[in-house]
Amino acid sequence: MSGTTITCRKLGFLYDGEEQPVIQDINLEIARNQRVAIIGASGSGKSTLCQLLCGLLPRSGGGTREGEVLLDGTDPAAAPIASIAEAVGVLFQDPDAQLVQGIVEDEAAFGPENMRVSPAEIEERVAQSLAAVRLLDRRLDPVRRLSGGQRQRTAIAAVLALRPRLYVFDDACASLDAAAQANFLQLCFTLQAEGRTLITASGRFDDAARAAQRVIVLDGGTVVLDGPPEELLRCCGEQLAQLGLLPRPAGEAAGTAAGDKPVPAATPPHSAERHAGKPIAAGSVPAAVPHAEGARESAASPLLEVDSLTFAYPGGREALHGIHAKIYPGDWVLLTGENGSGKTTLSRLIMGLLPAPAGSIRWQGEDIKGMAVYRRAEQIGYVFQQPEYMFTAPNVWEELIYSLHGGVPVKKRRELSAAEQERAGFLLEKAGLTDRLHMSPYLLSQGEKRLLSVISQLMLPRALYILDEPTSGMDYAAIDRVIGLCQHMLEEGSAILMITHDPELIKEHATSFIHL
């Protein structure tokens, strides 16, 4: 197997309806069999570059390309589909949009079937690619029964089964747990050893970038740094941190980034007192592991108690077994665990989006079974793993203030109070979305979408916020914004339950962990 040579000359790209090019004047030569990491903050043009490399832009996605892209001398936007599919396999950012067959093993077989591979070889490729992402035991499962990380692994397997000369993985590790990320890194080495060219794209100087032979840094649609990772880390650490691609030194990050001004409350804050120290729940089976610093004395009653919670989906698959947890006002609890361990299931049970057994979840001491979701939503803010599910308004501003009016037409709405205006402005500023007010939420970058979904829940003060992987795929600067926002919510007396695969980035702020 020989890899693919990539040439970009004066490459630029402008999306239809946009005024500013998202990519401009990119010149690159990537040699055969190289392992390259493209990194850049949210909105820097990584995903656009990935889609230009496989020809999807401008062929299917529209827009205007300038300059040249050549894969082994062939323009991917003009070449026949068959030769492109043989040359390059791409993992796009959203795994759900790539899964078209419904069953795990069929997803892996889809590409080879299209490429007229013999049934015996398809079978071999399916088994091998699913084994590579450790999903062989789930091969007959419907995709919709998988967790977000497992769907991501399925999408990776579907690309692997194509066996092209060049792999482009756009944010492949975004929803993966630590073990799956390590496995993915190993996979990259294996693919390169087979002679293939490899490109990974991400919003951080992550392990894939550190292990690459070459790192290309994008900012504002252009290449700002290009070189071996160790060299970039040695000479450009400060610049990389400023771009949000490396964590900022302690003391400069999160807390200070969020500013010192108190957040104005949209409505009078709830009565939950700010608590300096409370013990966090322990003893779930699998254990809810108390953070060392989280074991504090408390005189307050818990906001939320989960007691011997067991849950199985229809069909018998047990997702949770004997979970115990307590969350107090002012707590910041990290909910961690492998892909498919039941983190999202637990959060949905708390929110009432799945039916919990009677007596297993108590809110301020009372069983909440039977409490409607909209009633829970008065006390609990919930941010979905997929921000797009939450969008109901045509632009960022309307999306942000939606919870204040519940979708009432502009003419029938009351004026926003000064406090509401101030809070909205504050949240927009902290999320870095002030200049995006009139944009459609769907046109934001993935990181910006996540930030918008978070602040639109923060518009109304609540006792508890549940955030499902809010930092997934984000650059460090955006993560700092999320941390800063969370810290302000804690100062208002709220508690936070955050599902995350980035505990190492947030643990210093958290009061405790629940590990499933």
Residues that bind other proteins (CB under 8 A): 51, 54, 56, 59-61, 80-82, 84-86, 88-90, 92, 94, 96-98, 100-103, 106, 109-119, 122-123, 126, 144, 158-159, 162, 348, 351, 353, 372-374, 377-378, 382, 384, 386, 388-392, 402-403, 406-407, 442
Q: What burial letters (b/e) apply to 345-362, b meaning 16+ CB within 10 Å? A: bbbbbbbbebebeeebbb
- Nearer to other proteins by C-beta: 374 or 435? 374
CB of 296 to other proteins, least distance (A): 30
Strands across the sheet containing 6-14:
23-30, 6-14, 64-71
Strands across the sheet containing 88-91:
88-91, 166-170, 197-202, 35-40, 214-219, 222-227
- Nearer to other proteins by C-beta: 20 or 118? 118
CB of 384 to other proteins, least distance (A): 6
- Nearer to other proteins by C-beta: 446 or 511? 446
The counts of H helices and E strands in the chain are 18, 18
- Nearer to other proteins by C-beta: 68 or 378? 378
CB of 47 to other proteins, least distance (A): 11
- Nearer to other proteins by C-beta: 77 or 437? 77
Structure tokens at 254: 């999160």
Three-state DSSP state, 304: strand
Handedness of CA 338, 340, 346, 352 (dihedral sign): positive
- Nearer to other proteins by C-beta: 139 or 278? 139
CB of 76 to other proteins, least distance (A): 10
Q: Are 141 and 103 in contact (CB under 8 A)?
A: yes
Q: Are 199 and 50 in contact (CB under 8 A)?
A: yes
CB of 470 to other proteins, least distance (A): 15
- Nearer to other proteins by C-beta: 172 or 510? 172
CB of 184 to other proteins, least distance (A): 19
CB of 376 to other proteins, least distance (A): 8
Alpha helices, DSSP H, located in 341-475: 343-351, 373-376, 396-405, 418-431, 446-458
